[in-house]
C-alpha cells in the first residue's frame, strides 16, 4: 500500500513537473512573447539565457512639411528665411531644398541575463543615409540650378542597457530600462554639395546626415507586456515608453534633441508559431541645442531650430518562430498617420523593419 502511494505520488509529481515545463516552453515559444520587431528592449530573459539578434531597418522620407502643411521646393525658397542670413555669402532665404531621404540601419544586438531580475543588452548599428536635393540659382527667385545627392555610411551609435524586471504575474510583466548610448558614430562626415553660386565644395554635412550624436546619452524606458495567463489565449498586448536624453554637449558644441516614444501594441496568434500585430506609436524629437560652427548652408537641415518633430505611426507586423524554435523572425511595416514638424522638414513616408533573433535552447 505504502509502495502504491509512493508510486502515485511520484507519478503525480512527474506529471506536474512535466506540465510545468510544458507551460514554460509554451510561454517562451509563443510568437507574441516578443513585441513587434520595431520595439527595442521589449522582453527580458531568464537567468543564464542569452540571445543574438540582427535587425535591418529602412526609413524613407519624401517632401516637406511646415507644421502639418506641405510646402513645395518653390514655396520654401520664396517664404522660408535662412538661419544664417547676414553671415558672409549667405542669402536671406533657403536656397537648397532636400526632397528625399533614405536611411538604412543594420543593427547587431546581444542579450544576456546574469540573474532572473536583470537582463543586459548591447546593440550597435551600421548606417547608410542618402539625401537628394534641389539647388536654386543665386540669392532669390525660383530658377532651379540643379540637383545633387549626399551620402554617408558607417558605424552608428552603440547602446548598452540593463533591463530590470519590476514585476510579473498572471501573464503580465513589467520591466524598466536604464542605459547609455555610446558615441561610436561619426559626427564629422562630409560630402560634395551644389551651391546656389554653382560651386561644388566638399563640406561638413547637416545634422540628419551625421551617423551619431557625438555624446554619451542616457536611455530610459518602461515596458509592460501581457501574454495572457491562459496559454490557449490568442490575444496579447503591451506598451512601452522609451526616451533618449542628451545630457551633454558633444565635441562640436551641440547636442541633438531628446527623443521620446510611446508605443502600444496588440497581437493575435493566427497559427501556433505565428502572430500578427498592430501598433500605435507616438514619437517626439526636440531641436538641436547649440550648433556645429562648420555646419552652415542655406538649407533647412543645417538650422538647429528645424529638427523638432512629432509623429504618430501605425504599424502592422508579424512574428514567426521558425520550426527548430531557436530562431525567431519578425517584420513590421509602419506608416505615419499624423506628423507635425517645426519646419520646413522632410516628411516621413514609411518605415520597415526585419529582424532575426537566435537564442540557444536551454
| Chain residues in the site for Cu ion (CB under 5 A) | 51, 111
Question: Angle at the Cα of 7 (from 2 to 8), degrees rounded to 5?
Answer: 100
Taking the complex as a whole, how short is the minimal distance between the CB of residue 131 and Cu ion, in angstroms?
A: 34
Which residue is associated with the grid cell 533618449?
244
Query: How many Å is the Cα radius of gyration of the chain?
Result: 25
Report residue 335: phi and psi, to 5°. -130, 130
Q: Are 317 and 277 in contact (CB under 8 A)?
A: yes
Residue 141's H or E segment, with its range, is: none
Rounded-to-integer distance, Cα 96 and Cα 303, Å: 12
Residue 4 CB, shortest distance to Cu ion, in Å, is 46
Closer to Cu ion by CB, 111 or 266: give it.
Answer: 111
- Alpha-carbon gap, residue 329 to 36, rounded angstroms: 10
- The CB-of-45 to Cu ion minimum distance in angstroms stands at 6
Q: Phi and psi for 248 in degrees, rounded to 5?
A: -150, 155
Return the DSSP state at 86.
Answer: T
Q: Which of 341, 290, 96, 303 is nearest to 206 (CA)?
A: 303
Nearest distance from C-beta of residue 109 to Cu ion, angstroms: 8
Using the minimum distance from each CB to Cu ion, give the nearer residue, 37 or 103. 37
Minimum distance, C-beta of residue 216 to Cu ion, in the bound complex (Å): 24
Q: Which is nearer to Cu ion, 137 or 162 (CB)?
A: 162
* Rounded-to-integer distance, Cα 40 and Cα 263, Å: 11
- All 3 cell numbers of residue 261? 516614444
Q: Which helix (H) or strand (E) holds 162?
A: strand 158-169
Residues facing residue 259 across a β-bridge: 244, 285
Looking at the Cβ atoms of 145 and 160, the one nearer to Cu ion is 160
With respect to Cu ion, which residue has the nearer C-beta, 51 or 283? 51
Toward Cu ion, which CB reaches closer, 163 or 209?
163
How near is the Cβ of 21 to Cu ion at its closest, in Å? Answer: 20
Q: Partners of 103 in the beta sheet?
A: 59, 129
Q: Identify the DSSP state of 85.
A: B
Residue written as grid cell 543588452: 121
Q: Which one, 35 or 269, has the nearer CB to Cu ion?
A: 35
What minimum distance in Å lies between the beta carbon of 147 and Cu ion?
43
Cell 540582427 belongs to 54
Q: Tell me how far, at minimum, the Cβ of 189 lies from Cu ion, in Å.
A: 32
As measured in angstroms, the least distance from the Cβ of 113 to Cu ion is: 9
Instruction: Please identify, using beta-carbon distances, which residue of 111 and 205 lies nearer to Cu ion.
Output: 111
Burial class (CB within 10 angstroms; exposed 0-12, middle 13-18, buried 19+) of 151: middle
Q: Which is nearer to Cu ion, 111 or 269 (CB)?
A: 111
3-state secondary structure of 77: helix
Using Cβ positions, the residue closest to Cu ion within the complex turns out to be: 51
Amino acid at each position: 500500500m505504502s509502495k502504491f502511494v509512493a508510486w502515485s505520488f511520484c507519478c503525480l509529481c512527474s506529471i506536474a513537473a512535466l506540465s510545468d515545463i510544458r507551460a514554460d516552453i509554451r510561454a517562451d515559444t509563443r510568437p507574441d512573447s516578443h513585441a513587434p520587431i520595431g520595439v527595442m528592449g521589449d522582453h527580458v530573459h531568464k537567468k543564464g539565457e542569452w540571445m543574438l539578434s540582427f535587425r535591418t531597418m529602412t526609413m524613407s522620407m519624401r517632401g516637406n512639411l511646415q507644421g502639418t502643411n506641405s510646402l513645395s521646393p518653390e514655396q520654401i525658397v520664396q517664404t522660408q528665411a535662412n538661419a544664417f542670413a547676414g553671415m558672409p555669402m549667405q542669402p536671406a532665404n533657403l536656397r537648397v531644398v532636400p526632397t528625399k531621404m533614405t536611411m538604412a540601419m543594420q543593427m547587431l544586438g546581444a542579450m544576456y541575463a546574469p540573474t532572473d531580475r536583470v537582463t543586459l543588452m548591447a546593440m550597435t548599428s551600421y548606417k547608410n543615409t542618402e539625401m537628394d536635393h534641389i539647388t536654386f540659382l543665386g540669392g532669390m527667385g525660383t530658377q532651379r540650378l540643379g540637383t545633387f545627392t549626399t551620402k554617408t555610411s558607417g558605424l552608428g551609435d552603440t547602446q548598452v542597457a540593463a533591463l530590470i524586471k519590476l514585476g510579473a504575474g498572471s501573464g503580465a510583466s513589467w520591466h524598466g530600462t536604464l542605459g547609455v548610448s555610446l558615441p561610436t558614430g561619426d559626427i564629422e562626415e562630409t560630402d560634395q554639395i551644389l551651391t546656389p553660386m554653382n560651386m561644388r565644395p566638399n563640406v561638413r554635412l547637416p545634422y540628419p546626415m551625421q551617423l551619431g550624436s557625438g555624446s554619451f546619452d542616457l536611455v530610459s524606458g518602461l515596458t509592460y507586456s501581457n501574454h495572457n495567463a491562459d496559454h490557449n489565449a490568442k490575444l496579447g498586448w503591451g506598451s512601452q515608453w522609451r526616451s533618449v536624453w542628451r545630457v551633454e554637449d558633444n565635441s562640436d558644441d551641440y547636442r541633438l534633441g531628446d527623443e521620446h516614444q510611446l508605443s502600444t501594441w496588440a497581437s493575435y496568434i493566427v497559427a501556433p508559431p505565428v502572430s500578427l500585430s498592430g501598433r500605435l506609436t507616438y514619437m517626439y524629437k526636440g531641436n538641436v541645442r547649440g550648433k556645429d560652427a562648420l555646419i552652415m548652408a542655406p538649407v533647412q537641415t543645417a538650422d538647429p531650430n528645424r529638427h523638432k518633430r512629432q509623429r504618430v505611426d501605425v504599424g502592422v507586423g508579424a512574428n514567426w518562430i521558425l520550426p527548430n524554435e531557436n530562431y525567431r523572425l519578425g517584420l513590421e511595416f509602419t506608416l505615419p498617420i499624423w506628423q507635425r514638424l517645426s519646419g520646413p522638414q522632410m516628411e516621413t513616408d514609411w518605415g520597415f523593419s526585419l529582424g532575426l533573433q537566435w537564442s540557444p535552447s536551454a
